[in-house]
């Protein structure tokens, strides 16, 4: 599977990750009916941690409302591993649901994307 991430979406994710260092960043992704990622919601990591993230609940609610009003749906999540690894961690997988959501990860190695299937991370090609 291949997902296209527009340049402005990539830039927003990378900027949020840089602004949150040394903590993990987090946020949500919105897609249109065709499955194209159209918007990024940089959100607060309420864990304030270098090793975990929890999206601030009130902010996620606002993101869902905004996406719905814009004709989009929340289709994924992004977060960072400021010091690596460049794959989803066991903690990430434990918190993920086999929902079809896109999981974009920022690490020192760059951006990678995954879907969670059967509790395992399956890489998705980003273009």
| Residue 81 and residue 90 in contact, taking contact as beta carbons nearer than 8 Å | no
Q: Which two tokens stand for residue 32?
A: 């249109």
- The CATH H-level (homologous superfamily) assignment of domain 2-126 is Cytidine Deaminase, domain 2 (3.40.140.10)
Residue 98 has pLDDT above 80, yes or no: no
Burial class (CB in 10 A: 0-12, 13-18, 19+), 64: middle
- Predicted pLDDT at 97: 73
pLDDT digits (tens, 9 = 90+) for 53-75: 999 999 999 999 999 999 999 99
CA distance 35 to 48: 31
Tokens 């902010």 belong to 59
Residue 1 has pLDDT above 90, yes or no: no
Report domain extents, the chain.
2-126
């Amino acid at each position: 599977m291949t997902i296209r991430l527009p340049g402005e979406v990539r830039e927003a994710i990378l900027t949020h990750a840089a602004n949150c260092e040394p903590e993990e960043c987090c946020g949500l992704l919105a897609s249109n009916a065709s499955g194209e990622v159209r918007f990024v919601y940089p959100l607060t990591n309420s864990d304030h941690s270098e090793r975990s993230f929890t999206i601030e609940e009130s902010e996620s609610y606002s993101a869902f409302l905004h996406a719905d009003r814009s004709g989009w749906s929340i289709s994924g999540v992004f977060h960072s591993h400021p010091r690596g690894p460049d794959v989803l961690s066991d903690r990430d997988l434990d918190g993920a649901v086999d929902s079809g959501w896109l999981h974009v990860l920022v690490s020192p190695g760059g951006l990678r994307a995954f879907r969670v299937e059967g509790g395992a991370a399956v890489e998705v090609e980003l273009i």
